[in-house]
Structure 1
Amino acid sequence: MTQITTMGVIIHLEPDILECKVKRALGTITTNKASGGDGIPVELFQILKDDAVKVLHSVCQQIWKTQQWPQDWERSVFISIPNKRNAKKCSNYRTIALILHTSKIMLKILQARLQQYMNPELADVQAGLRKGRGTRDQIANIRWIMEKAREFQKNICFCSTDYAKALTMWITTNWKILKEMGIPDHLACLLRNLYAGEEATVRTGHGTTDWFQIGKGVHQGCTLSPCLFNLYAVYIMRNAGLEEAQAGIKIAGRNFNNLRYIGDTTLMAESEEELKSLLMKVKESEKVGLKLHVQKTKIMVFGPITSWQINGETTETVRDFILGGSKITADGDCSHEIKRRLLLGRKVMTNLDSILKSRDITLPTKICLAKAMVFPVVMYGCESWTVKKAEH
């Protein structure tokens, strides 16, 4: 039975960290990345090899036993980058977090331990922030479902839902979820202590701000954040009762009523009544902190469009919506998405116009730029396209 001291430190520990695990974690860290507050690049540890591994193993093992993190490992440096044209609005900025490379090693080790318990809990319909299940998988799934529905002349209704600031909804009261999902107390204590001391500063061209504490949200830049959010999503959907709901679409004898990607959930049903029942179940997630963004929720049906309301708020009914960056239309035709991709690629080419016309840049460099910046935009999600002869 787990024992806890008066200081809140777990006595019954998980197996110790092996030196080979530290070496493996160090080898997986990407090079040529910006360093954290200490300014130490990961290349230094890789040059020192075994000497660095021994020191890092000693530090990680100390954290493992005491469940206390060094203050520098709990700190992040935020860099704000404008992602829209109007850079005068704070809402048009996104931040990236720089954390110490040494802390990444411990986080990767902790992530590997967590995944042993988490992977069996994750549903097949959950993609994103998960190895082997990305956005394009969900795009392909929904296109195939629509193709089969047309083949067997079945009606399908879709609801594209969105949670307001989903990644910031992880709060201190959610630690009980870890216990309910079977995460050992030792690992939960390590996570809780990491978040308890989390601090950040914002670096700008005019200097850096004072250090401030972060009250809620998953730890940005942390390799554990995807694991925690996916676990949170599974917990919410289970409590909403989606897994037991009879409404949905039957595929190979199994009932499917949703496809999930990070904070976005696409509900599916064979009638509007069933879809409404599923949507009301999802809305119950507000009780555990996730608020449904009704203004961004979209309803798409094969038949005539009717007006929808959720608790007095009108929900938009559409003939198409964006799923994971790809345009899904009610008729299931991929032509709209192909044209959209070509236009997006042309826009990127226009932005690169001055570079591509420059005589100071060699042709091989221009080709590399086109392959890196244009081709991925044009060909995104092409694995699931049904291409007509005229579009070849």
Structure 2
Amino acid sequence: MDNSTAEFNDNFHSQVLSHKSSLEDRMIDPLYDENQELNTTITIDEIRRLIHGAKNGKACGIDSIPYEVLKYESVISVLHSLFQLIFETSIIPSIWRQAIICPILKDKTSDERSPLNYRGISLLTCISKLYSAFINSRVSDYLETNDMLADEQNGFRAHRSCEDHIFTLNAIVRNCPKTFATFIDLKKAFDFVDRDMLLYQLLLNKIDGKIYNSIKSIYVNTTACIRLNDTLTDWFSCNSGVRQGDNLSPTLFSIFINDLVQEVKDLDLGVSIGNSNLSILLYADDIV
């Protein structure tokens, strides 16, 4: 690795990936009376549906196994047994915690020397992403069925879109011309999620038992390396944030930030619409 590549790696790691949890020594154990909506036995139909829903041609992780290989019926049967074993024991392969980060320049006019101008695309193993997809499917269904997420959050939710919020905001501006709105884009929002706080939020929302243990296991001792000019750097620890490239991450982030909505609503500010007051709109980490 040449000096410029090594310097970029050090800067990218220190400025983007090395934020540490302020609660990293806190151990939070799952509840014993586990939520049956989330913790029932995995069915092979669940796994089959997720595998056939995965798109072909996606980049592989460190194991180089693509989705195409996993779609054979004989492999699906093996994966079902593997996933059920992992679900019961909460012991996952260490390779599932490894990510190859490919920095992509956000804007071609940006300073290429600044790591903050890059978006890190993480390549995870396809098998680990399928297991995360199983967890995400159950958690998302549970959240929606029980109305756990704030109605003001439209990010990564079925039958909701950013356009819905744009329509709402336009209607407010037309009817209340003196409306003042603040637009907030949280810097590196997914990267700076405190994992212990996230685990605590999961328990508060009765996301417990085996599903909780699985999520916790995924985030223990996570490591990554950076791919630069077809060269992989040394592996390093990632102590905070939800994993980029994992479809479970947006759901976890929505849970993490969900309390913000009530905090803002408690200020009793915003625009009156009928008998209610609208004071905040969210699309994942984009906030008005």
> What is the TM-score with the length of structure 1 in the denominator?
0.60
Contact conserved, 2:30 with 2:209, CA < 8 A, in 1? no
Query: Cα deviation per residue 1:127-157 (whole Å; 9 max; x = unaligned)?
Result: 223232222222221111112225xxxx322
Contact conserved, 1:31 with 1:42, CA < 8 A, in 2? yes
Contact conserved, 2:195 with 2:240, CA < 8 A, in 1? yes
Question: Who wins on radius of gyration, i.e. which is larger?
Answer: 1
Residues 237 and 169 (structure 1 numbering): CA distance in 2 closer, same or farther, change over 3 Å? farther
* SS class of match (1:166): coil
Contact conserved, 2:88 with 2:210, CA < 8 A, in 1? no
Query: 1:12 offset after TM fit, Å?
Result: 6.5
Matched, 1:56 2:79: yes
Query: 1:11 offset after TM fit, Å?
Result: 7.3
Matched, 1:90 2:115: yes
Corresponding position of 1:332: none
Corresponding position of 2:282: 260
Contact conserved, 2:225 with 2:236, CA < 8 A, in 1? yes
Query: Cα deviation per residue 1:287-332 (whole Å; 9 max; x = unaligned)?
Result: xxxxxxxxxxxxxxxxxxxxxxxxxxxxxxxxxxxxxxxxxxxxxx
Query: 1:22 offset after TM fit, Å?
Result: 0.5
Q: 1:170 aligns with which of 176, 184, 193?
A: 193
Moved more, 30-39 or 185-194: 185-194
Which amino acid in the other structure matches residue 129 of structure 1?
F
Q: Which runs of 5+ in 1 are unaligned?
A: 1-7, 267-392
Matched, 1:35 2:88: no
Query: Cα deviation per residue 1:16-72 (whole Å; 9 max; x = unaligned)?
Result: 1001101001011111111111111111222x2x10110110110111000111111
Q: Which runs of 5+ in 2 are unaligned?
A: 1-28
Higher strand share: 1
* SS class of match (1:250): strand
Size of the aligned set, in residue pairs, is 251
Which amino acid in the other structure matches residue 150 of structure 2?
A
CA distance in 2, matches of 1:264, 1:73: 29
Matched, 1:100 2:125: yes
Spell out the pairing of 1:92-131 with structure 2 (5 A cutoff): 92-119=117-144, 120-131=147-158
CA distance in 2, matches of 1:92, 1:161: 18
Corresponding position of 1:248: 270
* SS class of match (1:258): coil
* Greater relative CO (CA pairs within 8 A, separation 6+): 2
CA distance in 2, matches of 1:157, 1:203: 44
Which amino acid in the other structure matches residue 269 of structure 2?
A
Spell out the pairing of 1:304-315 with structure 2 (5 A cutoff): none
Spell out the pairing of 1:320-335 with structure 2 (5 A cutoff): none
> What is the TM-score with the length of structure 2 in the denominator?
0.81
Corresponding position of 2:23: none
Residues 12 and 101 (structure 1 numbering): CA distance in 2 closer, same or farther, change over 3 Å? farther
CA distance in 1, matches of 2:131, 2:168: 36
Corresponding position of 2:163: 136
Which amino acid in the other structure matches residue 198 of structure 1?
T
